[in-house]
Chains A and B, each alone.
Chain A
Amino acid sequence: GNSVTQMEGPVTLSEEAFLTINCTYTATGYPSLFWYVQYPGEGLQLLLKATKADDKGSNKGFEATYRKETTSFHLEKGSVQVSDSAVYFCALRGDTGGFKTIFGAGTRLFVKA
């Protein structure tokens, strides 16, 4: 079945550092890939998405590229801010089987001033 694996946290960075959170997936067919962010006390919210191979999703300085050859969708940001501290979830939504979304375990990011 479909699955998502993302790097374990927590990840601790200093402000203005470069961020990478790795995400790989297993899926049949042509899934769409997503990154969600969860701030304390809130629900998950969509950060970016990519719906086909080689698509790049981007938002708020974050970006991720849908790599079918390596089955990856790594999240990157060139310069993190304290306000980026949150939990990040990689997710996959298949194109069959009722379109259920599979979430990774989440990666907690702490950014220090």
Chain B
Amino acid sequence: DAGVIQSPRHEVTEMGQEVTLRCKPISGHNSLFWYRQTMMRGLELLIYFNNNVPIDDSGMPEDRFSAKMPNASFSTLKIQPSEPRDSAVYFCASSPRGESNQPQHFGDGTRLSIL
């Protein structure tokens, strides 16, 4: 069974550039989550979707961040323009149903470095 697939695994770019992170959730999972992890702030929930609809985007730090889920098998997180303080590991996770007893399945993350 394929897990959550994220791409790219590593991204290094200069500040001001647009960055797009991609996620393919596990087939059949209808909840999708984007997280950011840093040493200073730990694991932060940015946004999550149920059935492709954004439910809570209160964790999105600024208008420079946007996320879409055009279909059940694909989501993107975009940063435009990027800044050095956006450097972090970004994780995507999915879960089978919007029920409390279901765990989340995480991808291996995208390590983003903004120079």
Contacts and interface: CB of A to CB of B under 8 A. Distances in A.
Interface of A: 30-32, 34, 36, 41-46, 49, 51, 89, 93-95, 98-101, 103, 105-106
A95 B100 contact: yes
Interface of B: 4, 31, 33, 42-43, 45, 48, 50, 55-56, 91, 93, 98-109
A96 to B, nearest CB: 8
A99 B56 CA distance: 11
Nearest to B104: A101
Contacts, number: 58
Nearest to A29: B100
A100 B93 contact: no
Given A43-B93, A44-B91, A103-B43, 10 more contacts: A34-B103, A43-B91, A43-B107, A44-B93, A89-B43, A93-B101, A93-B102, A98-B50, A98-B98, A99-B99
Given A89-B43, A103-B43, A44 B100 contact: no
B107 A51 contact: no
Nearest to B103: A46
Contacts of A36: 103
A45 B105 CA distance: 7
A32 B101 contact: yes
11 contacts: A32-B100, A32-B101, A41-B108, A43-B109, A44-B91, A44-B93, A46-B105, A94-B100, A98-B48, A103-B42, A105-B42
Nearest to A30: B100
Contacts of A49: 101, 103
Contacts of A45: 105-106
Given A98-B56, A99-B98, A103-B43, A43 B108 contact: yes
A44 B56 contact: no
Contacts of A34: 103
Which A-B residue pairs are the 8 nearest by beta carbons? Answer: A43-B106, A95-B100, A46-B103, A51-B101, A32-B101, A93-B100, A44-B106, A32-B100
Pick from B101, B105, B106 the residue with the most CB of A within 10 Å.
B101
A51 B100 CA distance: 8
A71 to B, nearest CB: 16
